[in-house]
Amino acid sequence: MKKNLIAGNWKMNASLEANDALVRAVLAGMGAQGADAFATVAVCVPAPYLAQVRALQSGSPLELGAQDVSCHEQGAFTGEVSAAMLREFGVRFCIVGHSERRQYHGETDAVVAQKAKIALAHGITPIVCVGETLEEREAGRTEETVKRQMAAVIHVNGHCISEICVAYEPVWAIGTGRTATPEQAQEVHALLRRQLAAATAHAERVHILYGGSMNAANAAGLLAQGDIDGGLVGGASLKAADFLQIIASAGRAAG
Ligand code: PEP
């Protein structure tokens, strides 16, 4: 049975002091729970803190993640961070196509697909985010939207598609305190799984995470769904106690 993947997305919230306390508390709590036995846990940190967090998590079961990667290999791309650079800092996971990047930085489906490809080429697992806006959901266009976003990634990544992670993140649920119900989330996860299955014989291997106001109270219900293989956790990953409770819920879902 595959382990759940619980990935924290710190977004642009961090400081040397806060990171130190948070990572130490998460590591201690993971040890006490024996989390390594039932979950893969990662924190996706702002790029300037990769070295700091790497020093804290190195040799531990906590994995290091990034929040974005350039779609270019190297060169004159001021401000960008390449996959090779992330890899040098021990990054194992990288979020790509987060709705905040699609919305505020104009990332298209094609750019997101290219980012997934370049991450894979450097041995980094992309966590590819897909999800509909409230307007799209209310217009009955959820399926069409997530399938279009996913199709671009499948098209560019071909047979490597079973190596990615997917995060279904309804945009209306991110940072809003509004969560998809377990049934709403499962419905979309199941259709994403079917779409992956049409492209690879190994669709069952792909972690499909739910993201959007996942917290200590709602995690267990979401993680109990058949096609929900973990969570991409924003706000609640900044509080060790909440993040640890979500990790514990993954253990209960596995057991
Ligand atoms: C996210 O940013 O990926 C996210 C899911 O945020 P939140 O948990 O705060 O809604």
Compute the distance from residue 125 Cα to the ligand 1 centre, in Å. 19
Compute the distance from residue 75 Cα to the ligand 1 centre, in Å. 32
d(CA 70, CA 146): 22
* Domain count across the chain: 1
Average pLDDT over residues 177-186: 93
The pick from 99, 101, 233 for probing ligand 1's pocket by mutation, whose C-beta has the most ligand atoms within 8 angstroms, reads: 233
Average pLDDT over residues 184-192: 98
Q: Is the pLDDT of residue 200 over 80?
A: yes
Average pLDDT over residues 78-84: 98
Average pLDDT over residues 19-45: 97
The pick from 68, 168, 214 for probing ligand 1's pocket by mutation, whose C-beta has the most ligand atoms within 8 angstroms, reads: 214
Q: Is the pLDDT of residue 1 over 80?
A: no
Reduced to 3 states, what is the DSSP secondary structure of residue 181?
coil
Q: Is the pLDDT of residue 163 over 90?
A: yes
Residue in this structure with the two tokens 């919230």, named with its chain if needed = 13
CATH number at residue 165: 3.20.20.70
Of the given ranges (36-40, 56-60, 172-176, 244-248), which has the lowest mean pLDDT?
Answer: 172-176
Distances (CA, A) of 176 to 4, 43, 167, 211, 237: 24, 21, 17, 12, 15
**Band of the pLDDT at 164, cuts 50, 70, 90?**
very high
Q: Which pLDDT score is estimated for 242?
A: 98
Compute the distance from residue 70 Cα to the ligand 1 centre, in Å. 21
Q: Which pLDDT score is estimated for 2?
A: 87
Atom of ligand 1 nearest to the CA of 174: 10
Average pLDDT over residues 23-46: 97
Query: Domain residues for 29?
Result: 4-254
Query: What CA dihedral angle connects 221, 246, 112 and 203, to 10 degrees?
Result: -60
Give this prediction's pTM. 0.97
Asked whether 96 and 129 are in contact (CB, 8 A), the reply is: yes
Q: Is the pLDDT of residue 40 over 90?
A: yes
The pick from 5, 6, 11, 237 for probing ligand 1's pocket by mutation, whose C-beta has the most ligand atoms within 8 angstroms, reads: 11
Q: Is the pLDDT of residue 255 over 90?
A: no
Residues acting as catalytic residues: 98, 169
Q: Which pLDDT score is estimated for 8?
A: 98
Which ranges of the chain does DSSP label H, i.e. alpha helix? 16-33, 50-57, 83-88, 99-104, 109-121, 134-138, 142-157, 182-197, 219-223, 240-254
d(CA 33, CA 244): 9
Q: Is the pLDDT of residue 30 over 80?
A: yes
**Band of the pLDDT at 175, cuts 50, 70, 90?**
confident
Q: Which pLDDT score is estimated for 105?
A: 96
Letter for the amino acid at 55? A
Atom of ligand 1 nearest to the CA of 237: 8
Q: Of all protein residues, whose CA lies closest to atom 7 belonging to ligand 1?
A: 234
Residues with CB under 6 A from ligand 1: 9, 11, 169, 174-175, 211-214, 232-236
Q: Is the pLDDT of residue 112 over 80?
A: yes
